[in-house]
Amino acid sequence: MNRAEKNLENLPWVEKYRPSSLDEVYGQPDIVNTVRKFVAEGKLPHLLFYGPPGTGKTSTIIALAKEIYGKNYSNMVLELNASDDRGIDVVRNQIKDFASTRQIFSKGFKLIILDEADAMTNAAQNALRRIIEKYTKNTRFCILANYAYKLTPALLSRCTRFRFQPIAIDALERRMNNVVLQEHLNIGQEAKDALLKVSKGDMRRIMNVLQASKSSVDTADGEITREIIYECCGICRPEDVQKILKSILEDDFGTAYLTLKQICQAKGLASIDIIEELVALLECYELKNERTRQETLVCLSEIEYSISKGCNNKIVQSAIIGAIKTAFEHETASA
């Protein structure tokens, strides 16, 4: 094993398996084709990539830049992370230094990648708008963000926007199987399905959970089970949520409270995780009276809000039980 390979071995899998070319970007074919066309026509506009985490925004622009510049990458591309330093002065100076030095040997645009731009203050974004205008002659900007609404309209209107969707299951699965093969993982279909489901289209999560699961099996070829996947995600298993809901609906308050508390303790779950899973379960739960669902969801959303304000956990757990029990009174009334 040479030194480069050894370094690769020590990397977290999210880096080790970061796409090295646009062909390795999974599940975003339209975006990849469009940006490729821009490059082929030599008409790269300022770009804005936005969408949920782990969908390939950073990977796509880096792969694109590698495709354009090849060996010249480090001379022609400036990567800035806007959340490192929210003030604009640092960004402005770095951009100015980078953009104003002319390339003698290579022609074409320089590329400035501004990651996590939605972490910038409004004032900084406004300053950025002027910087973009000033350096458009020899630079292109690519702005990356999770939420487009956190960017100022002036900035938005200067970029061609691409929304990154959560990655589709089949693309996630292809990439996952790829990594499973390369890492010689022993993982069954049931565990894979669980992982695909909990990832919710986030490839970074798949990589992280796979790596964590691998280190939590004892032997090198030990099987990664569905249990391990749920444990590594810190997510409630569907059976456990069903058990909690059943107990709330059928048992008295004290018993239901104990069940909820025990499951939370045993699995190391927070009330917020339970609420999330309960909501997912209740969304498709078969009911006689739609009012039951509406009331439950409204109450659970209020409890979720109070958790974010720092409500006592014991009160939250009781409130969950109370909310569901009260709302389900319509069910028995209409039966």
Ligand X SMILES: Nc1ncnc2c1ncn2[C@@H]1O[C@H](COP(=O)(O)OP(=O)(O)O)[C@@H](O)[C@H]1O
Is there binding between residue 28 and ligand X (CB under 6 A)? yes
Candidates 22-30, 225-233, 276-284, 316-324; binding stretch for ligand X (CB under 6 A) = 22-30
Question: Cα 123–46–132 angle (5° rounding)?
Answer: 40
Are 49 and 63 contacting, i.e. CB atoms less than 8 angstroms apart? no
Is there binding between residue 167 and ligand X (CB under 6 A)? yes
Is there binding between residue 271 and Mg ion (CB under 5 A)? no
Candidates 21-29, 80-88, 187-195, 292-300; binding stretch for ligand X (CB under 6 A) = 21-29
27/307 with CB nearer ligand X:
27
**Burial class (CB within 10 angstroms; exposed 0-12, middle 13-18, buried 19+) of 167:** buried
Going from the C-alpha of 123 to that of each of 79, 86, 129, 255, the distances in angstroms are 21, 10, 10, 54
* DSSP designation for 310: T
Is there binding between residue 58 and Mg ion (CB under 5 A)? yes
Is there binding between residue 26 and ligand X (CB under 6 A)? yes
Total residues contacting ligand X (rule CB under 6 A)?
A: 21
Which residue in 264, 278, 275, 265 sits closest to 305, CA to CA?
Answer: 275
Which residue in 189, 208, 211 sits closest to 199, CA to CA?
Answer: 208
When binding is defined by CB under 6 A, the residue of 53, 108, 166, 222 that contacts ligand X is 53
Nearest distance from C-beta of residue 58 to ligand X, angstroms: 3
CA trace torsion 54, 56, 61, 62 (10° rounding): 80
Which residue in 247, 240, 253, 246 sits closest to 322, CA to CA?
Answer: 253
Residue 247 binding result from ligand X, Mg ion, none, given CB thresholds of 5 to 8 Å by partner type: none
Nearest distance from C-beta of residue 276 to Mg ion, angstroms: 24
Interface residues with ligand X (CB under 6 A)? 14-15, 17-19, 25-28, 53-59, 167, 175, 203-204, 207
Interface residues with Mg ion (CB under 5 A)? 58
